[in-house]
């Protein structure tokens, strides 16, 4: 399987000489969903910001399709879409206009946009709300707008930060089904989450972060071997790591 995202020896943070994440090494390949797991403040969001190209690494690189953001900014960013933890919407645009803007910004053809958008709207039961403005949406609906925009583009890579907060069970189910479908079609997904039971069922590999470092990674089976916890659930492994038992 070809790697889409390659993070090599990535160190970075908000203040010079005070890195928040240390020497991260990981990849996201085609056809896999990778779960990024860690306590609050473990450095998940900072890692994601580096991958998005919003923060400059102090050392190391984050490459998508073999290129860093600095080398080819436009190409780098056109390879992925991002679902932020807190929905960020344009107060002045309707749901439909959000979708249209996203499609235009990512260079979709109008025909492609129209064929993709209807089934998505129906799946997330937003098809009767296309003229609504964000002020009329609940938190969960705003999250759905973010998800719709990200799915619409059908990029090679999805970067998803805690997507389940505020989403209703049907929404979560639809979202996961789409993720699996796109994965099977060749996309890669990097998903940060705290909902471990869901992660355990849907992610192919896991990256467990603790205090800015990657302490464990691999499939569930590999995590069990590395932590020495036979037959443990992801929950148990995670708690084990979070209590600082693995270094």
Partner 1 sequence: MIDVKKLWTKRRNAHVTQTLKYFSLMANSGLIVSLILLIVIGSVYYAKLLQALPENFPAVFILTIVFSVWLTKSPIRTLLKEGDLVFLLPVESGMKQYFSKAISSATATGAFLTLFIFTLLWPIVQFFIHDGWKMYVTFGFFLIAAKVFNIYVSWEERRLPYKSHQTNYKIMRFIVNFVYAYLLFNEAYIFLIAIFAIMYVLKNFVFGVFKKQHGYQWEMLLAEEQSLKMKGYRFVNYFTDVPALKQTVHKRPWLNSLASFSFKKKNALPALYMKTFVRSGDYLGLYVRLILIGFLFIYLIPAGWWQLIVVFLFFQMFALQLFTLYTQYRWNVVFMIYPIKQDTRVKAFQNWLRHLLIIQGVFYGLFYGLLSGDWMIAILMPVGAILYSILRLPTMTKKHITLTS
* β-strand pairing of 59-64 with 3-12: antiparallel
Minimum Å gap between C-beta 1 and partner 1 is: 24
What is the contact mask toward partner 1 in residues 17 to 56, using x (rule: CB under 8 A)? Answer: -----------------------------------xxx--
Angle, CA of 66, 181 and 110, to the nearest 5°: 75
Of the two residues 88 and 225, which places its CB atom closer to partner 1 in the complex?
88
CB neighbourhood size of 72 (10 A): 15
Pick the piece of the chain touching partner 1 (CB under 8 A) from 80-88, 166-174, 189-197, 206-214: 80-88
Angle, CA of 156, 48 and 87, to the nearest 5°: 85
Of the two residues 146 and 203, which places its CB atom closer to partner 1 in the complex?
146
Pick the piece of the chain touching partner 1 (CB under 8 A) from 8-16, 32-40, 69-77, 187-195: 69-77
Q: Does residue 106 interact with partner 1 by CB under 8 A? A: yes
CA distance 181 to 161: 19
Minimum Å gap between C-beta 48 and partner 1 is: 10
Of the two residues 133 and 176, which places its CB atom closer to partner 1 in the complex?
133
- Looking only at residues 122 through 151 of this chain, which bind partner 1 when binding is defined by CB under 8 A? 133, 135, 146, 149
Which of 41, 66, 107, 228 forms a contact with partner 1 (CB under 8 A)? 107
Q: How far is CA 192 from the centre of its chain?
A: 6
CA distance 19 to 55: 12
Of the two residues 132 and 194, which places its CB atom closer to partner 1 in the complex?
132
Of the two residues 14 and 90, which places its CB atom closer to partner 1 in the complex?
90
CA distance to 2, 64, 89, 192, per residue, from 246 (Å) = 30, 30, 40, 20
CA distance to 58, 71, 106, per residue, from 55 (Å) = 9, 15, 21
Which of 16, 17, 18, 92 forms a contact with partner 1 (CB under 8 A)? 92
- Beta strands of 31-138 (E only): which ranges? 32-38, 59-64, 67-68, 80-83
Pick the piece of the chain touching partner 1 (CB under 8 A) from 58-66, 98-106, 115-123, 227-235: 98-106
Minimum Å gap between C-beta 76 and partner 1 is: 8
CA distance 174 to 179: 9
- Beta strands of the chain (E only): which ranges? 3-12, 21-29, 32-38, 59-64, 67-68, 80-83, 157-161, 188-192, 205-210, 213-218
Q: Which residues make up the interface to partner 1 (CB under 8 A)?
A: 52-54, 73-78, 82, 84, 88, 90-93, 97, 100-101, 103-107, 109-110, 113, 133, 135, 146, 149
């Amino acid at each position: 399987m070809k790697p889409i995202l390659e993070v090599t020896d990535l160190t970075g943070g908000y203040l010079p000489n005070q890195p928040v994440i240390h020497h991260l090494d990981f990849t996201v390949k085609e056809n896999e969903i990778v779960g990024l797991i860690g306590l609050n403040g473990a450095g998940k969001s900072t890692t994601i910001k580096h991958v998005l190209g919003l923060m400059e690494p102090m050392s190391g690189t984050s490459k998508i399709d073999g290129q860093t953001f600095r080398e080819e900014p436009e190409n780098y960013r056109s390879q992925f879409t991002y679902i932020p933890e807190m929905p960020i919407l344009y107060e002045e645009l309707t749901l439909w206009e959000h979708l249209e803007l996203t499609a235009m910004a990512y260079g979709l053809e109008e025909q492609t946009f129209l064929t993709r958008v209807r089934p998505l709207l129906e799946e997330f039961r937003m098809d009767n709300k296309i003229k609504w403005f964000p002020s009329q949406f609940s938190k969960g609906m705003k999250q759905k707008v973010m998800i719709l925009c990200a799915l619409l583009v059908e990029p090679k890579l999805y970067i998803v930060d805690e997507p389940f907060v505020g989403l209703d069970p049907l929404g979560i189910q639809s979202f996961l089904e789409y993720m699996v479908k796109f994965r099977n079609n060749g996309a890669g997904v990097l998903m940060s989450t705290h909902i471990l039971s869901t992660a355990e069922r849907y992610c192919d590999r896991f990256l467990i972060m603790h205090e800015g470092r990657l302490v464990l990674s691999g499939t569930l089976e590999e995590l069990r071997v590395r932590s020495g916890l036979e037959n443990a659930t992801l929950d148990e492994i995670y708690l084990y790591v979070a209590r600082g038992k693995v270094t």
